[in-house]
């Protein structure tokens, strides 16, 4: 009963009968998505083993004591022997490969480290899974960026993967490598493609939403790096975590999902300016006008997804509107900074 109440309070969803005592491996567990997926699984009774490269004391995983409820393995996702050892010693049944270098600007400045983490990291995890006799399902995080620039929007899963810039290319490769492990080795892997995550726990303050909230809490005008007309998909992080867990559940139940990719989206694309204006309105600071820098480079102007396949085949839909998710996100950051988080 306490476990069920905790799930309801967190608005996270997972099938406790599916996950209870199941051995699960999560890469990238200290990141925004990874911390929420890890918490969802732990609340559902899974035995979670998380791969941790760097100790990040400000991450949700540590600050909110989620890490106390899991086993951690220290090391890099590119280390195939380390991953293989973890899968074997902890008798892992299900793998969530979420680890990645996720910042477009960093990818532009440091393409080699991005390719190393995102491309070599992916084949290392999948090769370790291929060698394991116990792994029965693998979910790999790709991105809407894997589609690259397309002449028609929204993206759907039939479109080719054609990233052109370092981050986009790394995600196209991630996606294709994952599919190759199904087609060649019949590894039971499914692929997710999301737009931009937002929610409590994102400490990458060069991202638009946490950066804007922090500016407002500092009584400063927010900064928009682009010209403000860029169009993106945004999905609240608890909805994203629920989607990952649901896909893993369905993959285990329905073998026809192996090798498939799924878009997840609220299907409500917005411009950067509109998003910033929403945050200012929700925080009661419409008087703060954003500074538009028009400095963005190597970024696609419009990206957003169609999620009909996920609705039809997985029965998935988001629980939160954009404003509802932003309200919960703003509340998290207010509490974070009030409790001593570095502002």
Residue 99 pLDDT > 60 = yes
Task: Tell me whether residue 155 is in a domain.
Answer: yes
What pLDDT sits at residue 102? 87
Q: Using the CB atoms, write b or e for 117-146: b if 16+ within 10 Å.
A: bbbbbbbbbbbbbbebeebebbbbbbbbbb
Residue 1 pLDDT > 50 = no
Which range is least confidently modeled, 27-31, 109-113, 217-221, 296-300? Answer: 296-300
Task: Tell me whether residue 330 is in a domain.
Answer: no
Task: Tell me whether residue 114 is in a domain.
Answer: yes
Residue 65 pLDDT > 50 = yes
Residue 275 pLDDT > 90 = yes
> For residues 291 and 87, what is the distance between their CA atoms, to the nearest angstrom?
48
Total H helices, total E strands in the chain: 14, 13
pLDDT band at 342 (very low <50, low <70, confident <90, very high): low
- pLDDT per position as a tens digit, 156-209: 999 999 999 999 999 999 999 999 999 999 999 999 999 999 999 999 898 999
The mean pLDDT of 55-83, rounded to a whole number, is 95
Backbone angles phi, psi at 166, to 5 degrees: -50, -50
Task: Tell me whether residue 220 is in a domain.
Answer: no
What pLDDT sits at residue 13? 57
Number of domains in the chain: 1
Task: Tell me whether residue 239 is in a domain.
Answer: yes
Task: Indicate left, alpha or beta for 298 from its phi (over 0: left) and psi (-120 to 50: alpha).
Answer: left
pLDDT band at 277 (very low <50, low <70, confident <90, very high): very high
Give residue 263's domain range: 2-199+234-268+302-319
Whole-Å CA distances, 96 to 244, 273, 278: 8, 34, 33
- Helices 272-282 & 208-217 angle (0-180, nearest 10): 40
155 among known catalytic residues:
no
Task: Tell me whether residue 188 is in a domain.
Answer: yes
Token couple for 23: 């051995």
* pLDDT, the chain, mean: 93
Give the residue with greater pLDDT, 141 vs 343. 141
147, 167, 234, 236: the active-site residue: 167
The mean pLDDT of 293-300, rounded to a whole number, is 79
Tell how strand 270-271 and strand 231-232 pair up.
antiparallel
Residue 2 pLDDT > 50 = no
Task: Tell me whether residue 208 is in a domain.
Answer: no
DSSP-assigned beta bridge partners for residue 262: 192
The pTM score is 0.92
Residue 137 pLDDT > 50 = yes
Residue 149 pLDDT > 80 = yes
What pLDDT sits at residue 304? 96
What pLDDT sits at residue 7? 41
Give the count of alpha carbons within 13 A of 195, CB side only: 25
pLDDT band at 343 (very low <50, low <70, confident <90, very high): very low
What CATH number is given to the structural domain containing 184?
Answer: 3.40.50.720
Nearest to 83 by CA among 138, 137, 121: 121
What pLDDT sits at residue 8? 43
Task: Tell me whether residue 324 is in a domain.
Answer: no
Token couple for 58: 């400000």
What pLDDT sits at residue 218? 95
Which range is least confidently modeled, 76-90, 167-181, 264-278, 289-303? Answer: 289-303
């Amino acid at each position: 009963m306490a476990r069920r109440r905790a799930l309801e309070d967190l608005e996270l969803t997972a099938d406790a009968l599916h996950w209870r005592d199941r051995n699960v491996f999560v890469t990238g567990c200290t990141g925004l998505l990874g911390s929420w997926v890890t918490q969802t699984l732990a609340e559902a009774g899974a035995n979670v083993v998380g791969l941790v490269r760097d100790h990040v004391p400000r991450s949700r995983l540590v600050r909110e004591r989620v890490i106390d409820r899991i086993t951690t393995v220290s090391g890099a996702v590119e280390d195939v022997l380390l991953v293989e050892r973890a899968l074997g010693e902890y008798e892992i049944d299900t793998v969530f490969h979420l680890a990645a270098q996720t910042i477009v600007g960093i990818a532009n400045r440091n393409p080699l480290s991005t390719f190393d983490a995102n491309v070599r990291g992916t084949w290392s995890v999948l090769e370790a899974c291929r060698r394991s006799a116990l792994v029965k399902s693998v979910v790999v995080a790709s991105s809407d960026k894997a589609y690259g620039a397309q002449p028609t929007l929204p993206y759907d899963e039939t479109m080719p993967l054609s990233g052109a810039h370092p981050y986009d290319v790394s995600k196209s490769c991630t996606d294709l490598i994952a599919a190759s492990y199904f087609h060649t080795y019949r590894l039971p892997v499914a692929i997710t493609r999301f737009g931009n995550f937002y929610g409590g726990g994102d400490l990458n303050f060069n991202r638009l939403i946490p950066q804007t909230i922090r500016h407002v809490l500092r009584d400063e005008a927010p900064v928009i790096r682009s010209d403000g007309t860029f169009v993106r998909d945004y999905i609240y992080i608890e909805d994203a975590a629920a989607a990952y867990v649901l896909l893993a559940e369905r993959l285990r139940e329905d073998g026809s999902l192996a090798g498939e990719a799924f878009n997840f989206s609220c299907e409500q694309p917005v411009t950067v300016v509109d998003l910033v204006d929403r945050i200012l309105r929700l925080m009661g600071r419409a008087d703060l006008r954003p500074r538009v820098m028009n400095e963005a480079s190597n970024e696609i102007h419009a990206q957003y997804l169609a999620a009909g396949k996920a609705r039809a085949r997985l029965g998935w839909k988001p629980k939160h509107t954009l404003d509802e998710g932003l309200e919960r996100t703003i509340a998290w950051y207010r509490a974070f900074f009030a409790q001593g988080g570095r502002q």
